[in-house]
């Protein structure tokens, strides 16, 4: 690596340590009504008289309790007394788990950072320099720039946010611990690198080179050359499924299971060359954007798109899906950016017009949207559920952007540019509390090995990638019905009674039905009112033309149906 230049180490001593990154933490006070009737389960516990000095357990914040709720429990449908009793006990345990989870939130001590400015100052006015001057020195070291020579760079962070992988168009591949700046390896593969990706741990790296896909370990040794995957444009690693999803120049999509080395899905998407790709972390589907402005969602087992959304009328430039899988941001050449409700497949929720077409989009863990406009990065806060007016932060560079990624569990945005890599601080973008069992930035070797084994044990099969990740928790009602029908035909067998209503109704349908009903009712009401008004006004009614009467033969006169 060529002399990584750190930005501004000049003010080492004259720093006043003002921690603007962390908000002051107030003690939250809740007023919670004691509701003895509501929880009949723990009657026994509540009967116990509280000691005057020791009031028992602290009350739980009801909002947090609601957040940890798993939905409605088993009702009174089970008639068998013994099983009903057992289920009741199980429900009690679930509520206990919920309470424990809500209580455990007290352990999430860290609060997310943020920018606090005076009333007349805009947050966009705060540059990285000001930020660097105001944060502690260890945080200030997170702002740095690498000037590298091998053309446009792409950068990606590992899942725990500790390691950084850089791959350049001109073959420069480097991995390092970006916090300590300790280099793992640095090689030139002597081929163009189109995309790079970390694997499940930081010891393995995949690079989509000119011809094939290569894998390297953390010393730069080539481990594999996967010739099944050729001319790859973009890659995404699905950590829970151990799948490396890739799309190539000819529109072929490949899912490689890296734990067993098998291709689980390989087919042509018939979209042509698409270099816009993102993964939906909520359900592990792959979002592809094509040149006709259509975003399509793909899973490895089904050779057709699960859904298609016409987002723009022009070619797409970037897609990003937020961490919870709620919103998708798309941008097209038409210099517009739209936010979609990707969970319900609905939208657009927001529609923004920009001055130029975005190069890249990226959501942070706290839903801050970074928009790359040639050589400017703009960060929008809270732009999905409500319409924003102005960006939260703006960072201007002297070089054009190729891609950028937020560093997980850090308030850092890493930008791969035409001439190197830039790391900037975006206060409040990262998740402050990490779950060490999930991904641990301070992982040691042993923990890494342990986590690898655990992750492998918890591997999710590729077939479970669907639009609704909770499909698996639902009963296959159509085939159940079929089974029941078949059983009904058997002689001398009492058919089982079964209620087929699913737990979660398809909301899309009911919503529309409800709307229609509301509309209908409103219309009816209006008509009634209008009639009454006419009556009240005593307006002369337009007399219907008198029908000629034929006496007895009237019944044979055809009646004209008046259409609505």
Partner 1 sequence: MEDIEDTDLVALEHDRLISAVSKLDKTQHITEPTRNEPTNLNSEFNLIKRTNKLNIDNVAKVLEDTAHHVQISKKLKKTQSGAKVLSKPLEKPQAERIKRATGYEETKKKVGRWDPVVARSRTVDYVTFPIKHVSAKLEPTSDFLTKFKLKSELEKELEEVDPQPMVEDEEEEEPIFPKSYEEMVEYRQHLAKMRAQQSYKAAKAKRQSKIKSKKFHRVLKKEKLKQELKEFEELQKRDPEEALKKLEGIEKARALERHTLRHKSTGKWAKNKLIRAKYDKEVRQQLADQLSVGRSLTKKVQDNQSSDDEGDDEPTPNFTLSQDPFNPWMVQRSDKSNINAEFNFGYKKFVQNKLNKHKESDDSDSDENDVSEKDISNEKPLKNEKSTSPEPKEEKSTVTKANKEKTAAPKTKKGKRQLPAAKLKAKKPLATSNWDVETVDDTDNKPKDNLEYLKLKKQKTKAVIDEELMESSSKTAEGMANEEKDETISELVKAAQTPVQESADSNIDPNRFIEVKPKYLNTAISQVENEYDQLDDDQVVPRVNIEEVFEEDDVVASFRQEKEDEINKDKPEDINLTLPGWGAWGGKGVKPQKRKKNRFILKAPPKMPRRDENKGDIIIKEFKDPKLAVHKVKDVPFPFESVKDYEASIRAPLGNTFIPEKAHKKLIRPSIITKAGKIIEPMDEEELLVPKNRNFKNQSVIKLLGRKK
Could you say which residues in the range 43-72 bind partner 1, by CB under 8 A?
Answer: 70-72
Separation in Å, CA 456 to CA 178, 216, 218, 260, 303: 27, 20, 20, 10, 26
Q: How many CB atoms lie within 10 A of CB 484?
A: 14
Q: CA-CA distance, 239 to 147, in Å (whole number)?
A: 31
Q: How far is CA 452 from the centre of its chain?
A: 24
Q: How far is the CB of 370 from partner 1 (least distance, A)?
A: 13
Q: Does 486 bind partner 1 (CB under 8 A)?
A: no
Candidate segments 56-64, 250-258, 268-276, 387-395, binder of partner 1 by CB under 8 A: 387-395
Pick from 429, 420, 428, 427: which is nearest to 128 by CA?
Answer: 427
Candidate segments 207-215, 245-253, 492-500, 544-552, binder of partner 1 by CB under 8 A: 492-500
Task: Decide whether 260 or 553 has the Cβ nearer to partner 1.
Answer: 260
Encode 417-440: b = buried (16+ Cβ within 10 Å), e = exposed: bbbbbbbbbbbbbbbbebeeeebb
Q: CA-CA distance, 552 to 564, in Å (whole number)?
A: 30
Task: Decide whether 29 or 537 has the Cβ nearer to partner 1.
Answer: 537
Q: Does 122 bind partner 1 (CB under 8 A)?
A: no
Exactly one of 32, 104, 106, 130 binds partner 1 (CB under 8 A); which one?
104
Exactly one of 19, 382, 385, 529 binds partner 1 (CB under 8 A); which one?
529
Q: Does 518 bind partner 1 (CB under 8 A)?
A: yes
Q: Does 375 bind partner 1 (CB under 8 A)?
A: yes
CA angle 474, 480, 483 (to 5 degrees): 165
Task: Decide whether 378 or 410 has the Cβ nearer to partner 1.
Answer: 378
Question: Which residues in 278-307 contact partner 1 (CB under 8 A)?
Answer: 292-294, 301-302, 304-307
Q: How far is the CB of 31 from partner 1 (least distance, A)?
A: 26
Question: Which residues in 417-446 contact partner 1 (CB under 8 A)?
Answer: 437-438
Q: Does 309 bind partner 1 (CB under 8 A)?
A: yes
Going by the DSSP 8-state scheme, the letter that residue 555 receives in this structure is G
Q: Does 39 bind partner 1 (CB under 8 A)?
A: no
Element (H or E) spanning 71, and its range? Answer: none
Q: Does 563 bind partner 1 (CB under 8 A)?
A: no
CB 139 within 8 A of CB 21: yes
CA angle 99, 105, 106 (to 5 degrees): 110
- Give SS3 for 380: strand
CB 98 within 8 A of CB 122: no
Exactly one of 378, 410, 411, 431 binds partner 1 (CB under 8 A); which one?
378
Question: Which residues in 11-30 contact partner 1 (CB under 8 A)?
Answer: none
Q: Does 313 bind partner 1 (CB under 8 A)?
A: yes
Q: How far is the CB of 24 from partner 1 (least distance, A)?
A: 28
Candidate segments 91-99, 128-136, 142-150, 423-431, binder of partner 1 by CB under 8 A: 91-99
Question: Which residues in 446-465 contact partner 1 (CB under 8 A)?
Answer: 458, 461, 463-464
The pair of structure tokens assigned to 371 is: 């928009």
Q: CA-CA distance, 214 to 204, in Å (whole number)?
A: 11
Map residues 464-483 to x or -, x wherever contact with partner 1 holds by CB under 8 A: x-xx---xxxxxxxxxx--x
Task: Decide whether 299 or 429 has the Cβ nearer to partner 1.
Answer: 299
Q: Does 36 bind partner 1 (CB under 8 A)?
A: no
Q: CA-CA distance, 296 to 342, in Å (whole number)?
A: 11
Q: CA-CA distance, 394 to 371, in Å (whole number)?
A: 10
Separation in Å, CA 432 to CA 115, 225, 287, 365, 486: 15, 38, 28, 10, 55
Exactly one of 42, 149, 523, 554 binds partner 1 (CB under 8 A); which one?
523
Q: How far is the CB of 299 from partner 1 (least distance, A)?
A: 8
Question: Which residues in 347-366 contact partner 1 (CB under 8 A)?
Answer: 347-357
Name residue, tokens 């009614």. 541
Q: CA-CA distance, 355 to 357, in Å (whole number)?
A: 7
Task: Decide whether 2 or 504 has the Cβ nearer to partner 1.
Answer: 504
């Amino acid at each position: 690596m060529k002399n990584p230049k750190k930005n501004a180490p000049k003010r080492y001593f004259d720093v006043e340590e003002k921690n603007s990154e962390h908000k002051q933490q107030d003690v939250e006070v809740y007023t919670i009504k004691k509701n003895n009737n509501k929880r009949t389960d723990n009657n026994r516990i509540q009967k116990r008289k509280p000691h005057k000095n020791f009031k028992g357990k602290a009350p739980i914040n009801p909002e947090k309790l609601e957040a940890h709720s798993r939905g409605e429990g088993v009702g009174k449908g089970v008639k068998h007394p013994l099983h009903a009793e057992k289920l009741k006990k199980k429900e009690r345990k679930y509520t206990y788990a919920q309470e424990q989870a809500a209580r455990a939130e007290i352990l999430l001590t860290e609060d997310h950072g943020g920018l606090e400015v005076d009333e007349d100052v805009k947050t966009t006015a705060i540059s990285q320099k000001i930020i660097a001057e105001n944060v502690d020195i260890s945080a200030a070291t997170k702002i740095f720039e690498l000037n590298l020579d091998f053309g446009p760079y792409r950068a990606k962070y590992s899942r725990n946010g500790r390691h950084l992988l850089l791959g350049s168009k001109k073959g420069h591949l480097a991995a390092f611990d970006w916090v300590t700046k300790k280099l793992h390896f640095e090689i030139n593969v002597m081929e163009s690198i189109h995309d790079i990706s970390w694997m499940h741990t930081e010891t393995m790296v995949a690079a989509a080179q000119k011809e094939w896909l290569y894998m390297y370990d953390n010393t730069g040794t080539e481990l594999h050359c996967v010739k099944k995957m050729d001319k790859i444009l973009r890659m995404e690693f699905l950590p829970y499924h151990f799948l490396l999803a890739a799309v190539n120049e000819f529109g072929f999509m490949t899912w490689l299971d890296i734990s067993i080395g098998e291709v689980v899905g390989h087919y042509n998407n018939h979209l042509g060359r698409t270099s816009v790709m993102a993964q939906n972390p909520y359900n592990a589907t792959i979002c592809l954007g094509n040149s006709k402005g259509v975003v399509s969602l793909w899973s490895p087992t089904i050779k057709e798109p699960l859904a298609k959304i016409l987002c723009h009328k022009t070619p797409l430039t970037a897609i990003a899906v937020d961490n919870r899988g709620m919103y998708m941001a798309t941008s097209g050449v038409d210099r517009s950016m739209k936010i979609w409700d990707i969970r319900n497949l609905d939208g657009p929720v927001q529609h923004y017009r920009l001055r130029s077409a975005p190069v890249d989009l990226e959501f942070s863990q706290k839903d801050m949207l970074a928009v790359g406009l040639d050589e400017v990065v703009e960060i929008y806060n809270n732009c999905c559920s409500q319409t924003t007016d102005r960006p939260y932060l703006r960072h201007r560079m002297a070089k054009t952007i190729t891609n950028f990624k937020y560093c997980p569990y850090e308030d850092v945005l890493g930008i791969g540019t035409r001439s190197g890599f830039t790391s900037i601080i975006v206060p409040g973008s990262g998740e402050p509390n990490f779950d060490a069992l999930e991904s641990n930035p301070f992982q040691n070797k042993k923990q890494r090995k342990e986590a690898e084994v655990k992750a492998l044990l918890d591997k999710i099969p590729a077939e479970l990638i669907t639009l609704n990740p909770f499909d698996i928790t639902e009963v296959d009602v159509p085939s159940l019905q079929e089974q029941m029908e078949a059983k009904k035909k058997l002689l001398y067998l009492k058919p089982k009674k079964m209620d087929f209503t699913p737990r979660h109704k398809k909301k899309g349908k009911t919503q529309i039905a409800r709307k229609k009903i509301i509309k209908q009712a409103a219309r009816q009401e209006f008509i009634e009112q209008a009639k009454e008004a006419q009556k009240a006004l005593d307006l002369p009614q337009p007399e219907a033309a008198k029908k000629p009467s034929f006496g007895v033969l009237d019944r044979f006169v055809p009646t004209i149906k008046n259409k609505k």
